[in-house]
Amino acid sequence: MDTGPVKEYLTGLQNRIVAALEDVDGQPFRRDAWDRPQGGGGISRLIEEGKVFERGGVNLSHVIAYCPTSHMNVRCFVATKPGENPVWWFGGGMDLTPYYGFAEDARHFHATCKSALKPFGADLHGRYKAWCDRYFFLKHRNEPRGIGGIFYDDLNDDGEGGFERCFALTRSVGDSFLPAYLPLLERRKDMTYGERERDFQAYRRGRYVEFNLVWDRGTLFGLQSGGRTESILMSLPPLVKWRYDWHPEPGSEEEKLYSEFLVPRDWV
């Protein structure tokens, strides 16, 4: 089993995503390469205080141990023991966390996810969408983090067609991220907003932080295993607000997010 093409693909994917987001924002991403004493290393690409993004990160990790390869949620694990065959599996996916809901955005994002999985089985999208809805859920709040997408883990050759098929599925998911996200970014980045919208954005960002620090397995494993903290936490937003027992005004656009978008729904 040759995992070299996996690293080559993920490195190229990181470069493509960074280049596309730099074109949208107009500001360059910072490049921060790092080495891990135990083996391996990675490249963190980060933008802060850009024209469009307050913070955006595209992280690549190649660690010789049990650790995810990317914060964009496309990853490959290989576990080895002397004298035994490697044990490998893929995982990944993508989800969308809007602050204000737009049905056309949700339909486009989910349709792109469905198209990415279609060549690999008609039932996969339904399974991986439901898995995403379960995973990106804040149990202590009893609410989803966003409007979902697709998520999968522990994907190996058990009924899935072997390493090459699993790698191909993961490439299809990774290659679909920009087609799923860039049209939404271009459509919404120039919309007008005021203090009300910024305040709600900061409040909803708190849910994102709570999920990452309380429930996300990759974040918890990285911190507990002594991983590189700056790279692990690079996805946390720079400005966040929490309020005590806050509820949106009935009939408002903020309330619409909760009632129409932060609910399980078949968008396609």
59-87 pLDDT, tens digit each: 887 655 472 222 357 787 788 878 888 88
188 domain-assigned: yes
Give me the pLDDT at residue 120, please: 93
Give me the pLDDT at residue 71, please: 35
CATH number of the CATH domain containing 26: 3.40.1500.10
268 domain-assigned: no
Give me the pLDDT at residue 1, please: 56
Give me the pLDDT at residue 65, please: 41
Give me the pLDDT at residue 105, please: 94
Query: Catalytic site residue 71?
Result: yes
Q: Which of 62, 71, 108, 110 is the catalytic position?
A: 71
191 domain-assigned: yes
Our count of domains for the chain comes to: 1
119 domain-assigned: yes
56 domain-assigned: yes
Give me the pLDDT at residue 69, please: 27
Residues lower than pLDDT 70 in the chain: 1-3, 36-39, 62-65, 67-72, 158-161
The whole domain housing 20 covers 4-261
76 domain-assigned: yes
122 domain-assigned: yes
Give me the pLDDT at residue 76, please: 78
Which H, E and C letters describe the chain, residue by residue?
Answer: CCCHHHHHHHHHHHHHHHHHHHHHHCCCCEEEEEECCCCEEEEEEEEECCCCCCEEEEEEEEECCCCCCECCCEEEEEECCCCCCCEEEEEEEEEECCCCCCHHHHHHHHHHHHHHHHHHCCCHHHHHHHHHHHHCEECCCCEECCCEEEEEEEECCCCCCHHHHHHHHHHHHHHCHHHHHHHHHHHHCCCCCCHHHHHHHHHHHHHHHHHHHHCCHHHHHHHHCCCCHHHHCCCCCCCCCCCCCCCCCCCCHHHHHHHHHCCCCCCC
132 domain-assigned: yes
Give me the pLDDT at residue 3, please: 67
